[in-house]
Structure 1
Amino acid sequence: MTTATLKAVSTAAALKLPRDRFPARTVPNDWAATRLRRAAVWQHTTGTPFVLANPVVQAKRVRGLAHLLDWLEDFPGASWQQRWLASGAESLGAQWRRAPLHWLNHRGRRSSWLPSELSNGMKVLICADVLRPSLEWLVSVPSLKGDLAPGLALVRDRDGFARLQAHCDGRADLSAPSRRLVLQRVAVLLAAKGGTVGDIMLGDVLELAETETAVRTSWPKDLPVFYSVLRELEIFGPESPTGWRELRTGGQQTPEELIDRYRIECRPIRDLLVDYLRERQPALDYNSLRGLAYFLGCRFWRDLELHHPGIDTLHLPADVATAWRQRLTSRPETVTGPDGATFMATVPRISFRECLAKVRSFYLDLSQWAIEDPGRWAHWVAPCPVGREDTGRRKHKRQLKARMDARTRERLPVLPVLVRTVDHRRRTAEALLRAAWQTEPGTTFTAGGQTLIRPLLRPGTSADKIWAEDLTSGKRRDLVQEEEYAFWAWAAVEVLRLTGVRIEELLEISHHSLVQYRLPTTGEIVPLLQIAPSKTDAERLLVVSPELAEVLSTIISRIRQPSGPVPMVPAYDWHECMWMPPAPLLFQRRFRTERRAISHGTVRKMLKSALADTGLVDPADGRPLNYTPHDFRRLFITDAVMNGLPPHIAQVIAGHRDINVTLGYKDPRELHQMGENPQVASSGRWAGELQRYYELTA
């Protein structure tokens, strides 16, 4: 199965959930136009408005109508729709004309014009609502569906198509092919479902998307554009999501769905795990519940079933429990060697103690619950296969801190290299794109020390892309995407290293997060960055340094609309699996014809691409050095401490939960009450910022 096919299958599966919420219209068995007698159909389809100005084409259309009506009358049915279904031509898809051609050939009607005449006649019968072929048939006949919009606009819903055309023409971000595709899809829905443009339902659009995916085995083009156009015309109800991507996310899953992902064979154990998750659900957020289902369902019980088929009890023999714990400590991973070759290797699983702790809690909870409700839980009580010594929490924390300290020692000295690299990549990519815009296709240009050539435009090439060929490597490069990735990699690195925020906090920074505070003593205005609650569930304010202010102003200037405001975009919370209301987020970018919030995965991909250009390697294994967004938090705190800031105060500024719990800090203002003065006798870059922070929190 190809990658495109797998993507199509996953897309179709993602559309099934919203289709349950937004059902499509059903096509009735019969309607007035399809029950007309032949004389009435003939009179209707050969008169106004179906008469063409070109007599030659009109004659072909009339002959095609006669052939189709003769052919359909030979099949049983009380309506033309029933005869069409009985003919079997719909199952032939794009080869549907074979059926009437074969019938006509047996009756001595042969002509090279017959295929064209049949297509013209079929278009008239569909526009006249005499026939309503299925969506599958319409999608699979490209030559016919492309001609339906003008005919339907003329005879079915003139005002609706005029309104749709005017709206598409008014959107400068829509290309001509995108406009044609919107009109074509609307025509297909009207041809299959009947009615007018205003009668289209959200479920119809979902059914069309699923049909196009199944027929083409690939992701249909410009579906988000099609959805946004219809929603902007207020064709859907107010409960419709703001964007197409919101329909493709399934939302939060129930405990049953979370466990059933792992295909547990033992039904009693499966039901027990579901009941356990349901009991724990009120006290957990969704991300924790999903992680608990993963550890118990996948890493624990499913692993036991794979290695011990038929197992059906929680009372594990000693050898089974020992073997499971041993398997849990390692995992397979694709490793890239120094020569660039990839191979499978077994590497230690860092999080195995977390799984052991979850399993131990599971067994201990069952024992405790059995005392309170023995009829429900007592028969599941069994010796726990994980001892207290197996979790090794204190030792694990020391090892974890040692690993984190080692990562910080390796990455802090080379942070300036990364900062210079991302800035150089941004400026070079911007210069290349600017030079390419000013260069005619087929011409060579030089910028940023690189010489490229703009190839001649190919038919159907998107105007949003600027392609160039590298004369040295011969590689074809998308300069627009390169500039996008270079800019946002620079923005992410700068904001992360200057604030120490978490990645989810970074992506939630909006235009509203920038606030001002006037010091009551001097009247000086201090710019502040408001960090929304995340892991610590505590909001905090960061003083915006001049360096950070320049970065934020550059981001705002890039994303601001010509009219002034920052665009409102919805963001998806990957932890809670829910969409957030639209907000003027700073980390957003244009994706084809829509603006999207930048995701966690995209930020990591951009960082990986930027690190590849630094040439830095990990001294431990010689592989390319890897930075995670969380590394910048540790670098931020370490850098602050090295420049004179007390460690516990640096941790509080960064919103570090563990330090807050250890020292009892609930709010940075408590530092002043405890006698902790953030001001230090340092002439480093932190001196002025710390003085302002002290005045603010005091």
Structure 2
Amino acid sequence: MRASDRPGAIQGTAGPRTPEELIDRYGLVCRPIRDVLVDYLRERQPSLDYSSMEGLACALGARFWKDLEIHHPGIDSLRLPDEVAAAWKQRLRTKQKTITAKTGEKVTVDVPRLNYRECLIPIRAFYLDLAQWAVDDPGRWAQWAVPCPIKEEEANRRKLQRHRKSRMDARTRERLPVLPTLVRTVNEHRKATEMLLQAARHTQPGEPFTAAGQTLIRSVTGHKAIRGKVWAEDPVTGKRRDLELEEDHAFWAWAIVEVLRATGIRVEELLELSHHSFVQYRLPTTDEMVPLLQIVPSKTDEERLLLVSPELADVLSAVIHRVRDHTGKIPLIASYDWQECVWLPPSPLLFQRRFGAERRRISPDVVRDILAAALVRTRLTDPSTDEPLRFTPHDFRRLFITDAIMSGLPPHIAQVIAGHRDINITMGYKAVYPDEAIQSHLAFLARRRAMRPTEEYRVPTDAEWQEFLGHFERRKVSTGICGRAVGTPCVHEHSCLRCSMHWPEPGQRQRIVEIRDNLIARIAEAEHEGWLGEVAGLRISLAGANDKLAQIDRRSDNDSVNLGVPNTQRPKTSQTHHNP
């Protein structure tokens, strides 16, 4: 295919930029720093794909050095003073976002940057790489080896990952219950737009027609109108509508939602599905032929095969029927890889649509726009912001994995279907529901209950119930309350002052004092009479009595607990208040 024949000649697409072009986009003033950034990208280029190279150039050139040149004109060294580094980090914590105010006006506000720590990592890696390369090649890199302004703990993403997991789980829990509403809405809209288009095609220009509960008037177009376009006017609003475009968007919205929710594939994998992606497999046990969908290598550079369910087969069949040309074949189109900025060989892609006089592959941005328009029709709102609910293509991937594992699919099988190399990544996509935790806890209690003797769960008799209630009545003793558990005997043979479970009553302090004095007198008598065996037992009781008195004194001294709150100094003119 010639360059002039490619869609890119019209769209203005370009090939991959060199490291010089990636850095020069930001117009850096300091030439030596610009050169070292270019050299750094050139060294990293063999181990990075183009999209990673572009992101690294943006981090180093725009977020880091260009920001420093804007706020510190004339800066020319990578050795940053502490105050300069601190100010840069503070600016990096926020970013500008354009929102629509309640008045409908577009305003720009500063919002927190959620991936702040992730933005620090490439800058820290840049400094550490230069230090390591200075050891290997001091003549080239030693002059750039300076202390890194980012400490290791500043780039620690452990807490950030937990917060991100929490946000993604909340996002999944909000969207999974409303997914049936979205599916039903896109299907109804597809059928309605198809009925309107068919009715309009069978209606003469200027004549009214009714379909899908709407009454429109087919527009009268001039001879310069685009051939095949079907226009209609709404007599209520006076708006002129392109029924062919509405039907086209409605069909692809339905197809995108159905394929994403049935497969959990990434958006780039969705757009690379072709007529060659269908594979047949014969089961060795039943000799049955089952259809499989081949997912070409994308993020993990590994292909995988997915089972095509009957529902998914109906959707893919409708897509194939739609994109076939008059010869019954799917047209071969050249697509542009926006990640690597290269043209791919022509192939019979399924997600292609007519754009003017040519066919083009649907782009990821068009997918997001179609999903946004479909969600507006559902009238669903985000409970956290009270704004229209948004679905990204990757949300369907999280919903698919969560629903699959909750429905009983083993996590290691979900890992294979999702194309993850690490099962921890798969489990990170899966959201935990409170209901799931409750049901699991109840199942655990049921299993534990089944392992214990059944007589422990019988209904108590009247005598047992009275015995249980009587235990609390019999806990009262002359010097306090006994705190032993129900059904347990007294281990000190009712020598309460010796027992650690005895809780002395402050009102009985005088009685305990009398008991202590009596014990002292008995110990003196026993020592005088030579009853040494009795002396040891009396001394144990005396120690218990002293301990109970000490407990009462500590409780009376600590009626008010000091929390360590500093006292606020009162003005001298205020009145003095005495604590009670």
- Listed one character per residue, the Cα deviations across residues 111-147 of structure 1 (whole Å, up to 9, x for unaligned) are xxxxxxxxxxxxxxxxxxxxxxxxxxxxxxxxxxxxx
Which one of 372, 377, 396 corresponds to residue 632 of structure 1? 396
Query: Which of 339, 361, 367 is equivalent to 2:125?
Result: 361
Query: Larger Rg: 1 or 2?
Result: 2
Distance 2:141 2:94 in 1: 33
C-alpha separation between the residues in 2 aligned to 1:290 and 1:548? 36
Distance 1:661 1:303, change over 3 A: same
Distance in 1 between residues matched to 2:185 and 2:104, nearest whole Å: 22
| Structure 1: gaps of 5 or more residues | 1-237, 664-698
Measured in 1, the distance between the counterparts of 2:407 and 2:7 equals 48
Partner of 1:505: 269
Shift of 1:295: 0.5
CA deviations over 1:283-309 (Å, ceiling 9, x no partner):
111111111001000011101111111
What is the CA distance between 1:562 and its match in structure 2? 2.3
The aligned runs of 1:16-415 (5 Å cut-off) are 240=3, 242-246=5-9, 248-337=12-101, 340-415=104-179
Structure 1 residue identity aligned to 2:362:
I
Aligned partner of residue 46 in structure 2, secondary structure: helix
Tell me the secondary structure at the aligned position of residue 538 of structure 1.
Answer: coil
Deviation at residue 458 of structure 1 after TM alignment: 3.1
SS in 2 for 1:364: helix
Q: Work out which of the residue numbers 518, 521, 524 in structure 1 matches 2:282.
A: 518
Instruction: Judge conservation of contact 2:3–2:9 (CA < 8 Å) in 1.
Output: no
CA contact (8 A) 1:453 1:468 kept: yes
**How far apart in 2 are the matches of 1:546 and 1:269?**
59
Instruction: Note closer, same or farther for the CA distance 1:382–1:604 as it changes in structure 2 (3 Å cut).
Output: same
User: Which whole-Å CA distance do the structure 2 matches of 1:338 and 1:655 have between them?
Assistant: 43
Aligned residues: 426
Q: 1:417 aligns with which of 181, 189, 192?
A: 181
Is 1:477 matched with 2:241?
yes
Shift of 1:395: 1.2
Q: Look up the SS of the partner of 2:354 in the other structure.
A: strand
Q: Distance in 1 between matches of 2:254 and 2:3?
A: 36
Partner-residue secondary structure (3-state), 1:630: helix
Once superposed, which parts of structure 1, at least 4 consecutive aligned residues long, lie more than 6 Å away? 660-663
Question: Percent identity at matched positions?
Answer: 63
Amino acid corresponding to residue 600 of structure 1 in structure 2: P
User: Secondary structure in 1 aligned to 2:79?
Assistant: coil
Q: Deviations over 1:308-355 (max 9, x none)?
A: 111111111111111111111111111124564432222122222222
Q: 1:577 aligns with which of 308, 329, 341?
A: 341
Number of the residue aligned with 1:107: none
The answer for the alignment partner of 2:491 in structure 1 is: none
Following superposition, the deviation at residue 391 of structure 1 comes to: 1.3
Cα distance change, pair 544–244 in 1 and its aligned pair in 2 (3 A): closer
Cross-structure match for 1:549: 313
Q: Distance in 2 between matches of 1:268 and 1:368?
A: 20
CA distance in 2, matches of 1:396, 1:594: 46
Q: 1:653 to 1:253 in 2, by over 3 A?
A: same
Give 1:487 deviation, angstroms: 0.5
Q: Secondary structure at the match of 2:305?
A: strand
Q: Indicate if the aligned counterparts of 1:455 and 1:467 stay in contact, CA closer than 8 A.
A: yes
* Equivalent position amino acid for 1:642 in 2: M
Deviation at 1:530, TM superposition (A): 0.3
* Aligned residue runs from structure 1 range 627-666, under 5 A: 627-659=391-423
| In 1: Cα distance, 2:214 partner to 2:113 partner | 43
Conserved 8 A contact 2:190-2:254 = yes
Q: Deviations over 1:520-567 (max 9, x none)?
A: 121000110000011111110000000000000010011112222111
Contact 1:516 1:527 in 2 (8 A): yes
Q: Any conservation in 2 of the 1:408–1:631 contact (CA below 8 Å)?
A: yes
Q: Pick closer, same or farther for the CA change 1:460–1:241 going to 2, 3 Å.
A: closer
* Counterpart residue number, 1:92: none
SS of 1:528's equivalent in the other structure is strand
Equivalent residue in structure 1 for 2:220, among 450, 456, 460: 456
Query: What are the superposed Cα offsets for residues 209-250 of structure 1, whole Å, 9 maximum, x if unpaired?
Result: xxxxxxxxxxxxxxxxxxxxxxxxxxxxx7656524257321
Confirm or deny: 8 A CA contact 1:336 1:623 kept in the other structure: no
Q: 1:394 to 1:524 in 2, by over 3 A?
A: same
Query: CA offset at residue 661 of structure 1?
Result: 7.7
Conserved? CA contact 2:415–2:426, under 8 Å:
no
Q: CA deviation at 1:662?
A: 9.0
Give, in whole Å, the separation in 2 of the partners of 1:310 and 1:577. Answer: 35
CA contact under 8 A between 1:287 and 1:576: conserved in structure 2? yes
Structure 1 position 502, deviation (Å): 0.2
1:495 maps to which of 259, 265, 273: 259
Structure 1 residue 262 displacement after superposition: 0.4
Inter-partner Cα distance in structure 2 for 1:255 and 1:400: 32
Unaligned runs of 5+ in 2: 428-580
Q: Secondary structure of 2:108's partner?
A: strand
In 1: Cα distance, 2:424 partner to 2:202 partner: 55
Q: Deviations over 1:540-596 (max 9, x none)?
A: 000000000000001001111222211111111110001100101100011121111
Structure 1 residues 611, 617: closer, same or farther in 2, change over 3 A?
Answer: same
TM-score for both structures, normalised by structure 2: 0.71
Task: State the Cα distance separating 1:387 from its structure 2 match.
Answer: 1.0
Match of 1:604 among 346, 368, 372: 368
- In 1, Cα distance between the equivalents of 2:109 and 2:422? 34
CA distance in 2, matches of 1:596, 1:377: 47
2:281, 2:290 within 8 Å by CA — same for their partners in 1? yes
After superposing the two structures, state which structure 1 stretch, 456-465 or 396-405, moved more: 456-465
- Give the C-alpha shift of residue 269 in structure 1: 0.6
Change (3 A) 1:656 1:432: same
Q: Which amino acid aligns with 2:36?
A: L
In structure 2, C-alpha distance between the alignment counterparts of 1:339 and 1:239, rounded to whole Å: 50
Contact 2:279 2:293 in 1 (8 A): yes
Distance 1:648 1:244, change over 3 A: closer
Superposed CA offset, 1:57-108 (max 9, x none) = xxxxxxxxxxxxxxxxxxxxxxxxxxxxxxxxxxxxxxxxxxxxxxxxxxxx
- Give the 3-state SS of the residue equivalent to 2:393 in structure 1: coil
Cα gap change, 1:339 to 1:408, in 2 (>3 Å): farther
**In 2, Cα distance between the equivalents of 1:430 and 1:517?**
35
Contact (CA 8 Å) 1:464, 1:592: kept in 2 or not?
no
The Cα of 1:657 is off from its aligned counterpart by 3.7
Shift of 1:635: 0.3
How far the C-alpha of 1:450 sits from its partner, in A, is: 1.4
Q: Distance in 2 between matches of 1:641 and 1:382?
A: 49
Counterpart contact for 1:331–1:349, Cα < 8 Å: yes
The one-letter amino acid of 2:8's match is R
Q: Give the Cα separation in 2 of the matches to 1:492 and 1:532.
A: 18
Structure 1 length-normalised TM: 0.60
